[in-house]
Amino acid sequence: MEKRAAFISKGKQQIQEGWRKVIFQNEKDDDVILPNVQEGEEGKVVKVDVKEGKTQPPKRYTEGQLITLMKTAGKHLDNDELEKILAKSEGLGTEATRAGIITMLKDRKYIDVKKNQVFATDKGKVLIDAIGDKILASPEMTAKWEQRLAEIGEGAASAAAFMEQTKKLSAKIIEDAVEAESKWNFSGYDTESIQRKGKGKGKSFSSKSFGSCKLCDGKVVDKGSFYGCSNYAKTKCTFTVSKKILDKTVTQANLKKLLSEGQTDLIEGFKKGDKTFNAKLEWKENKVQFLFEK
């Protein structure tokens, strides 16, 4: 038997006229009324129209949508358990750091924002192509780390073992990158403008210390668009504080207070969407968070 395409009609059937008996409608009814047909009946095609069209690319994200995607990253995982973990930790980053992460991406020229639409720069595209679908770009890995850190906090896992695994993973990522380098092809991008400059030609940052690092024995120094640990080159210490959080600049005075006392003075005018609020910044659970006064 010849296999034919299946056509589906969607609409409504009028069971009773109801108000249609007494109210006259001049305007065309938008409801599609289907005839009362029975299963097995055959219909006759009277007219066929072909409609030409083009698919539209998805709309570009705005900065606000990127923040929402970071917060809901767990919803895109196939593993239910890991999805719950990321949902519990509120996705990637925190309320206090997500906007700072996007600011950092802009400052480092990985993304560009035009008319509130986010575009990946050539530098960003090179990074995306180089990382590909490797573990560094995996929300699953973030969820697993959150799970392990929670277990360490509860005393159910060893911090030393976690650090050892992290070192091995870092070494493996570097090995994979060296091996994959020969296969990279960035011919379509402007790579000259994003090459790291030679010694003495790049940006020079102040070595002035603002206080002790909260994660190691290093000092917190100016890294350009953010404050970071002086030990990064040696130990890859991940301590960072964005210079700007939700449109508010973190002053050096507040940074010093955060490092020495664990929290800043009250900062007025944080902006999230159309709303503004006042809060302190505090160092809690190894990250910067908002502290609201009661």
What is the model's pLDDT at position 201? Answer: 45
Tokens linked to 122: 């050539």
Task: Supply the range of the domain harboring residue 262.
Answer: 205-294
Pairing of strands 275-284, 226-229: unpaired
Q: What pLDDT digit, counting tens, does each position of 242-264 carry? A: 888 888 888 888 899 999 999 99
| pLDDT of res. 117 | 92
Structure tokens of 163?
Answer: 């650090």
Asked if pLDDT for residue 8 goes beyond 70, the answer is yes
Predicted TM-score of the model (pTM)? 0.47
In a domain, 193, yes or no: no
CATH number of the domain that residue 142 is part of: 1.10.460.10
Residue 89 has what pLDDT? Answer: 60
Q: Hunting for tokens 């960003």 — which residue is that?
A: 124
Give the pLDDT confidence score for residue 9 in this predicted structure: 78
pLDDT one-digit tens code per residue, 137-155: 777 777 778 778 888 988 9
pLDDT, tens only, 14-71:
777 787 777 766 556 667 778 877 888 887 878 888 888 888 888 999 988 988 888 8
Query: What's the CA gap between 95 and 97, in Å, rounded?
Result: 6
Spatial neighbors of 214 by CB under 8 A, at least 6 apart, are 239, 259, 283, 286
The residue from 137, 157, 177 where one domain ends is: 157
Q: Which of 139, 157, 175 is the last residue of a domain?
A: 157
CA distance 65 to 117: 10
pLDDT digits (tens, 9 = 90+) for 85-138: 666 666 677 777 888 888 999 999 899 999 889 999 999 998 888 888 777 777
For the cut 90, the answer to whether the pLDDT of residue 234 exceeds it is no
Among candidates 114, 127, 113, which has minimal Cα distance to 191?
A: 127
Sign of CA dihedral 143, 148, 153, 159: negative
- In one-letter notation, the amino acid at residue 16 is Q
With b for 16 or more beta-carbon neighbours within 10 A and e for fewer, the 117-142 pattern comes to ebeebbbbbbbeeeeeeeeeeebbeb
Same structural domain for residues 63 and 151? yes
At 61 the pLDDT is 92
> What is the distance, to the nearest Å, from the Cα of residue 65 to the centroid of all Cα atoms in its chain?
9
205 has pLDDT over 70? no
- Domain annotation covers residue 7: no
Q: Which amino acid is residue 254, in one-letter code?
A: N
Tokens of 70: 């970071």
Res. 163 pLDDT band, cuts 50 70 90 = very high
Q: Does 64 share its domain with 152?
A: yes
Half-sphere exposure of 46 (CA within 13 A, CB side): 1
Count of domains for the chain: 2
Asked whether residue 153 falls in the same domain as residue 68, the answer is: yes
Indicate whether 14 belongs to any domain. Answer: no
Reply yes or no on whether the pLDDT at 198 is more than 50.
no
